[in-house]
A and B are shown apart, each in its own frame.
Chain A
Amino acid sequence: MLRSVLLKSLRDQRRALLWWGTGLVALAVFTLLFYPSFRDMGSEMQKLAERMPEELLLLFAGESKDMTSPEGFLNSQLFVLMVPLLFMVFAIGMGSGAIAGEEERGTLELLLSNPVPRWRVAWEKFAATVLAVAILAFVFWVGLEVTSVGVGMEAGAGRMAEATLSAVLLALAFGALALAVGCATGSRGLSIGVSSAVGVAAYFLNALAPVVEVLQPYRKVSPFYYYMGADPLANGLNLVHASVLIGLVVVLLAAALITFERRDLAT
């Protein structure tokens, strides 16, 4: 595991991956265990939801109208907020730690005194972030899949995988943003702060745009729109939307590599 910057970065995350993986599987299992009782309450649950303010529903349950259908349940309980939030926190943590974290700990200079170009260090560390998020997403999806069969929920495995993948792409966009801010400034705190603030703003923008008129024209600026806007759980992964997220990752990664190559390292 010490053969390359990529493998070493993954190795550094092995404990985090273990705990995050366990937590995500637990989240999938325990959420789905509630599904049968949720479904059986049926119309009552629906009535309760209809009495809530629309803004609140949009924020925490998304646009699904039928919260007792498998898609409505999964979206409102997991995919609207919890899953993207958790994936993003992990990706931002790794993205900000990649360069800025190592720079602040003072180990970056020694690493770069070896014959490895700066861009490659940043690139391999981002590749490690991609792999780590993918690993987490995979175990989460397995947890979902197995439990959904157990509780007799009829949501296609393929659809759940596509929704999870969409969340991965969203998280990687914010991971790339964290990497870019860290690469440009060398400050881990700034990297985490900027990425989190943009993430929260993007979430609210996308969630509230349908009911807040002033936000409406800007909804498509929010990466969350490209994550959930086409409802991948119901309709499958929208390739155009996925491409937008991938494009965002590519642009931010390029910005990270270029700014890192150009600046002075902090002492």
Chain B
Amino acid sequence: MSETVILAEGLTKFYGKQRGVVGLDMEVLQGEVFGFLGPNGAGKTTTIRLCLDFIRPTSGRVAVFGMDARQHACQVHMRTGYLPGDLSLYGNLTGGELLTYASHLRGGVDWGFVHDLATRLECNLSRPIRALSHGNRQKIGLIHAMMHGPELLVLDEPTSGLDPLMQQEFYRLVAELKAAGRTVFLSSHIMPEVERVCDRVGIIRDGELVVVESVQALKARALRHLEIHFSATVPPEVFSGIPGVRDVAVEDSVLRCTIVGTLDPVIKAAARFEVVNVISREPSLEEVFLAYYDRGDADAP
């Protein structure tokens, strides 16, 4: 059985009267990529900052590597790499200087690895940070988090500002870290990103952890909006009978429906007609949550 890397128990944080997180119980295991999914303001950043002792819980506790985050902040930081969600860097330094500073504070790093990371992320380390775009600063933040080869990476919205190519490179980096047995705890508000890189996902909403599930289970329950354009009008009853398909609407030759789980039966059914175009849209986070709440209602007697 894997070791627990992050353990939150009844973790609660209020900023005055304002809610941060409430009664959060969560476990992140060694070697997994754990995604923390929720809309902005749900409490993702609060949780992450509690783990790193930047803020202190109102009640409850959080332990990292089995050590209290508060009592042993320094030891936790030693073994952790962190990327803040709202990244600010020293504008007067170059990327290389910033990383030099951090490496001194950490007692030295492998510079071969740092340059490797910089090359892969196409990051220019010799320009002053103030002259860099948001995406390029994000890359320096990522290198700063990874440069010392930490056992745990805590990344708050890591792909924000990265162009799609760099996002792909980032996903590859995460996969490599996972293969090397590292643990990654990342927050995101983008469902497909979490599906793509994570093993397990915790969904947080209004400060409460709604559910923790494997990505596979999440996908099986995921909603998808499908729009199929046919060359001629189709009878709606062909589709409305399929299990997992709802909100079927046919307007002229266009079918719109919502599908829970696999698309396969709908595609097979559609194949009998002449298909002009298929448009599939990922659900918004709000819809994902609603799917969970609907399920809750359905389970109720």
Chain A residues with Cβ under 8 A from B36's Cβ? none
Cross-chain contact of A113 among B55, B77, B89, B93 (Cβ < 8 A): B77
Q: Which residue of A lies closest to B82 (CB)?
A: A113
A8 and B86 contact, Cβ closer than 8 Å, known pairs A114-B106, A115-B74 = no
Q: Which of B94-102, B178-186, B211-219, B250-258 participates in binding chain A?
A: B94-102
Q: Are B45 and A267 in contact (CB under 8 A)?
A: yes
Q: In the assembled complex, how far is the CB of residue A168 from the closest CB belonging to chain B, in whole angstroms? A: 27
Q: Are B77 and A115 in contact (CB under 8 A)?
A: yes
Q: Are B106 and A2 in contact (CB under 8 A)?
A: no
A12 and B92 contact, Cβ closer than 8 Å, known pairs A5-B105, A115-B77, A117-B74 = yes
Annotate B30-54 by CB proximity to A: 1 below 8 A, 0 otherwise.
0000000000000001000100101
Check: A107 CB closer than 8 A to any chain B CB.
Answer: yes
Q: Which residue of A lies closest to B144 (CB)?
A: A110
Q: Are B88 and A113 in contact (CB under 8 A)?
A: no
Chain A residues with Cβ under 8 A from B90's Cβ? 107
Chain B residues with Cβ under 8 A from A111's Cβ? 105
Q: Are B88 and A107 in contact (CB under 8 A)?
A: yes
Q: How large is the interface on A (under 10, 10 to 19, 20 to 34, 35 or more residues)?
A: 20 to 34
Annotate B134-165 by CB proximity to A: 1 below 8 A, 0 otherwise.
00000001001100000000000000000000
A267 and B86 contact, Cβ closer than 8 Å, known pairs A2-B101, A4-B104, A115-B74 = yes
Check: A264 CB closer than 8 A to any chain B CB.
Answer: yes
Q: Are A106 and B88 in contact (CB under 8 A)?
A: yes
Check: B290 CB closer than 8 A to any chain A CB.
Answer: no
Q: Are B78 and A115 in contact (CB under 8 A)?
A: yes
Cross-chain contact of B75 among A3, A8, A113, A115 (Cβ < 8 A): A115
Chain A contacts with B in 112-141, Cβ cutoff 8 A: 112-117
Check: A44 CB closer than 8 A to any chain B CB.
Answer: no
User: Could you list which residues of chain A lie within 8 angstroms of chain B, going by C-beta atoms?
Assistant: 2-5, 8, 12, 105-107, 109-117, 264-265, 267
10 contacts between A and B (CB under 8 A): A2-B101, A4-B104, A111-B105, A113-B52, A113-B80, A113-B84, A264-B56, A265-B49, A265-B54, A267-B86
